[in-house]
Structure 1
Amino acid sequence: MTETLQSLALSIIELATFIFVFIFLAAIVWLIWAYISDIRQKKQAIRRNFPVIGRFRYFFEHLGEFFRQYFFAMDREELPFNRADRSWVYRSAKNVDNTVAFGSTRNISAAGEILFLNCPFPTLEADAVPPSAITFGEGQARQPYTTSSFFNISGMSYGAISKPAVQALSQGAAKAGIWMNTGEGGLSPFHLEGGADIVFQIGTAKYGVRDDQGQLSESRLRSVAAHEAVKMFEIKLSQGAKPGKGGILPAAKVTQEIADIRGIPVGHASISPNGHPEIKSVDDLLNMVHRVREITGKPTGFKFVLGAYGFLETMLKSIHERGLEFAPDFITIDSADGGTGAAPQSLIDYVGLPIKESLPLVVDKLIEYGLRDRIKVICSGKLITPASVAWALCTGADAIVSARGFMFSLGCIQALQCNKNTCPTGITTHDPDLQNGLDPTNKAERVAQYAQKMVHEVGVIAHSCGVREPRELRRYHAHIVGDNSFSTSLELLFPTRSVKPEYDKRK
């Protein structure tokens, strides 16, 4: 027995020695190959001047993203979303304790911070009421849509996000009683399987409702509208990540299934036009809204990032001249800092107005032209916490939609790989091995719990301000901190304009 053990030990030592020698020799061969390769290549000066060692620069540069996130960035420092905000979403999605101790880590004197004015006599729980319902397309659409939900899932295409991610969002939205937007990638079976309310987005490439020439197909539009779950249609003019440029889906993500849903070739990059070829003016836009609503019978609006805003007055005047049947049932305003997928950095960083400027501007223009009741306002763009959602309701939004907030609820770790096929959490990849880590049933619960926690905590803010429910929040309930560290009422910064006499419905 002892001899057998000794023999086994010697065999293990011999094997370990062989493996060590093999690895050592392989390392020597790799170092020689890397040295020769580096000094002969001409693309990277660092590698040419410092062969082998220069390669570590790129390795450490890549690792830097992750070290900053976990070890060096403070809770409120990191971009695009800091750790404090992400942690709130994670805890809410998991339905665990969301309280904190020993004071806030937020600098409440920093310019741009939001402060809500608590009432000396807050609303008691016994007096609180559920969020009130709103109706889209009332008096114009044959099938108007009524909902009490004010926090919903923004557009994320199947293709940009994975099958299990769409399934989890669909199931979670149904559990929470909220709607989900398809994004411009068309309507997939996975959007429908959860039973959630659906907003179908018509992008510039008309994916899912296009004919063989890439034009809007009325028959396919009717087919989509025939689904009871599809409640509204949204014409996308632009989105926060890349205003003025169409959607980008890398070739690696265009599988056979996605190609069939979108009506495009498999394995080829899906790049949408930067605008609708048939929409080149305000009248073209209003015609398209009217056409889609007439074909589908359902509320129709459009989504855009506000930049040059002179067209708003032209559009609102045109609506009065042509008739309310040409008005959009809703306008979705995306912030310049929105966006989840692939986009040029020049557009992500520099183009478009942020939602803090664009939302009050659009709301005030609608009031000025007497169209605020007719046209509902939806807004999006980094609104993932109760304070940001409550701010939007104060400013005049009827509803808020979020994409990245719900990605965090699915388990997104902000790895910044949405534009690749390597998302480690399985959300924005079509690699089956990576998708395997995302269980739709489990994540659906987290989606629902995040939405429910959001509604609850926005309600807490509303009750502290002395109103019965979130949709009763007004501009005078919130202050914004200025450059001098003193705050100013939203009502003073953005005074609500009165209706112009010629557009006053009472006359």
Structure 2
Amino acid sequence: MTEIPFVHDFLQVLAILFVTSIGVAVIFIIVIYIIDRNQTVHAIRRNYPVIGRFRYWFEHLGTFFRQYFFTMDREELPFNRAERSWVYRAAKNISNTVAFGSTRDLKPAGTVIFVNCPFPTLGKDAVKPKPVTIGENCTQPYTTSSIFNISGMSFGALSKPAVISLSHGAKKAGAWMNTGEGGLSPYHLEGGADIVFQIGTAKYGVRDKEGNLSDEKLKEMAAIDQVKMFEIKLSQGAKPGKGGILPGDKVTAEIAAIRGIPEGEDSISPNRHTDINSNDDLLDMIYRIRNVTGKPVGFKVVIGAYGWIDELCKKIQERGLEYAPDFITVDSSTGGTGAAPMSLIDYVGLPIQESLPLVIDKLKAHGLRERTKVIASGKLITPAEVAWALCMGADFIVTARGFMFALGCIQALQCDKNACPTGITTHNIKLQRGLVYTQKSWRVTHYIKNIIHEVGVIGHSCGVKSPREFNRDHARIVQASGNSKSLSELYPGE
């Protein structure tokens, strides 16, 4: 009986709290109503106070509902569900076998079809990719057999556990990773993977106090054994003609120290290298960095106005092969790990499907194909896309977003908001807790190994023993008429 007063009192408290919360909610709605009715910026909120605010919430949620409920497996952009699912399963080392036929429509123009042969390569006859040497004439050339590697993603744009995961995963798979333009962090080195040091337009990590390229800093980077090559970034797929952007809330003290910039301020790179104004300047820069470091040097570029490639090749022949780039990374206009203006992402630059064969054929026409290796980049995240690039003649393939998916990215499109729900592109410690590198690094390793394995499977069907034996006779492209043409017929330059 003594418990009844207690229960009665407890219920009274709950009732008071309930009535109070209702009252607060009503007052809140009245305040919002008054604000909306009197503001003059948003017509919807002025005409439909309170209710009109739900429009923005539904608009935000629509992105996620479309991704999970309303779009078909092969409809969504930038990456559809079928592509993401393949990467997720490969990264988890789960079988990618499917039943009851393909959901891929083979009729649209541009569709790639590989040409199987009547007598496929037997598994026992298959061989691993042969090693390729980049910068044979350098003091310290780089030789690797890894055809699939990690493209440029800066520490700062990516979180600490994400970079560590990539470093350990790449090492276990025998692949290289690119630093991105944000400089070399301890986390890139932690796993022991081979490193490509990218030199962006702001020269982060190798700049002096005035922001100019420093030979002393170059020597420091080159003295690190893991650093195998240097890549000059002329442009990238997300924003050709615009510099990299890192919001100030991501520029921590640690990142500021690595880059050599003020803490807490937006990190905005120039839209191009201020000291590279011509092909002569570019070749001088390549020659200078190679002489200082003794290691292979190349450049990354999105192809647009491609007449300059002919001029560049002619200038190399005129000045001598010692000025030639050791490699060219051809990025696609469809790139985009970084946030960028929609006008650049949507409309500027050539896609990799057009630019890759163009660059390879230009190099061959000028007798530079053996001297300069070609690395393909830009949405090449599945075995078929990698195999296509090899058919076109690429020596290596790199991807950034493919590895973000391998780490667990759900394409939430929050990369530039420091609110990535998977902890990949945020410096929010609470969100980073979800990304455990001891587990995610294995996903990186599995992704690399499964890509290479399935590229080999496609190759065996086409009758080749190794992925490096692919050529333009092994794939066809569907035309507007519905019929397909061989790559060797469409691009006879090789």
TM class by smaller structure: over 0.9
Query: C-alpha displacement at 1:11, in angstroms?
Result: 4.4
Letter in 2 for 1:261: I
User: What whole-Å deviation, never above 9, does each CA across 1:221-276 have from its counterpart, x for those lacking one?
Assistant: 10011100000000000000000000000111101100000000001000000000
Query: C-alpha displacement at 1:21, in angstroms?
Result: 1.8
Match of 1:19?
17
What's the % identity of the aligned pairs? 67
User: What whole-Å deviation, never above 9, does each CA across 1:343-375 have from its counterpart, x for those lacking one?
Assistant: 011000000000000000000001101110000
Letter in 1 for 2:66: R
Match of 1:383?
380
d(CA) in 2 for partners of 1:117 and 1:79? 27
Answering whether residue 154 of structure 2 is matched by residue 161 of structure 1, we say: no
d(CA) in 1 for partners of 2:359 and 2:209? 37
Match of 1:501?
none
Match of 2:247?
250
Residue 420 of structure 2 is aligned with which of 405, 418, 423? 423
Match of 2:184?
187
| Residue segments in structure 1 that go unaligned for 5+ positions in a row | 498-507
Change in CA separation of 1:96 and 1:18 when aligned onto 2, cut-off 3 Å? farther
Alignment map for 1:219-368 (pairs within 5 Å): 219-368=216-365
Query: C-alpha displacement at 1:15, in angstroms?
Result: 3.7
User: What whole-Å deviation, never above 9, does each CA across 1:189-222 have from its counterpart, x for those lacking one?
Assistant: 0000100000000000000000010000110110
Match of 1:505?
none
Match of 2:51?
53
Change in CA separation of 1:50 and 1:391 when aligned onto 2, cut-off 3 Å? same
Query: C-alpha displacement at 1:496, in angstroms?
Result: 1.9
Match of 1:503?
none
User: What whole-Å deviation, never above 9, does each CA across 1:49-97 have from its counterpart, x for those lacking one?
Assistant: 1111110111100000000000000000000000000000000111112
Query: C-alpha displacement at 1:111, in angstroms?
Result: 1.4
SS at match of 2:262: coil
d(CA) in 2 for partners of 1:7 and 1:457? 72
d(CA) in 1 for partners of 2:103 and 2:16? 55
Q: Structure 1-normalised TM-score?
A: 0.96
Query: C-alpha displacement at 1:3, in angstroms?
Result: 4.1
Residue 112 of structure 1 is aligned with which of 106, 110, 113? 110
Letter in 2 for 1:288: M
d(CA) in 2 for partners of 1:404 and 1:468? 29
Match of 1:32?
30
Match of 1:201?
198
Letter in 2 for 1:142: T
Change in CA separation of 1:9 and 1:338 when aligned onto 2, cut-off 3 Å? same
Runs of 4 or more consecutive aligned structure 1 residues displaced over 4 Å after TM superposition: none
Change in CA separation of 1:23 and 1:357 when aligned onto 2, cut-off 3 Å? same
| Residue segments in structure 2 that go unaligned for 5+ positions in a row | none
Which deviates more from structure 2 when the two are superposed, residues 229-238 or residues 13-22?
13-22
SS at match of 2:51: coil
User: What whole-Å deviation, never above 9, does each CA across 1:373-428 have from its counterpart, x for those lacking one?
Assistant: 00000011000000000000000100000000000000000000111111110000
Query: C-alpha displacement at 1:12, in angstroms?
Result: 4.3
Match of 2:82?
84
d(CA) in 2 for partners of 1:10 and 1:340? 59
Letter in 2 for 1:437: G
Across the two proteins, how many residue pairs are aligned to each other? 494
Answering whether residue 146 of structure 2 is matched by residue 149 of structure 1, we say: yes
Query: C-alpha displacement at 1:45, in angstroms?
Result: 1.1
Alignment map for 1:162-177 (pairs within 5 Å): 162-177=159-174
Residue 408 of structure 2 is aligned with which of 407, 411, 430? 411
d(CA) in 2 for partners of 1:112 and 1:15? 68
SS at match of 2:338: coil
SS at match of 1:332: strand
Letter in 2 for 1:55: R
SS at match of 1:54: helix
Answering whether residue 480 of structure 2 is matched by residue 472 of structure 1, we say: no
d(CA) in 2 for partners of 1:265 and 1:12? 56
Change in CA separation of 1:7 and 1:197 when aligned onto 2, cut-off 3 Å? farther
d(CA) in 1 for partners of 2:9 and 2:117? 79
d(CA) in 1 for partners of 2:205 and 2:460? 43
Change in CA separation of 1:16 and 1:190 when aligned onto 2, cut-off 3 Å? same
d(CA) in 1 for partners of 2:310 and 2:2? 94
Answering whether residue 381 of structure 2 is matched by residue 369 of structure 1, we say: no
d(CA) in 1 for partners of 2:14 and 2:89? 46
Residue 210 of structure 2 is aligned with which of 208, 213, 220? 213
d(CA) in 1 for partners of 2:457 and 2:309? 35
d(CA) in 1 for partners of 2:304 and 2:280? 19
Query: C-alpha displacement at 1:22, in angstroms?
Result: 2.6
Query: C-alpha displacement at 1:113, in angstroms?
Result: 1.0
Query: C-alpha displacement at 1:483, in angstroms?
Result: 1.2
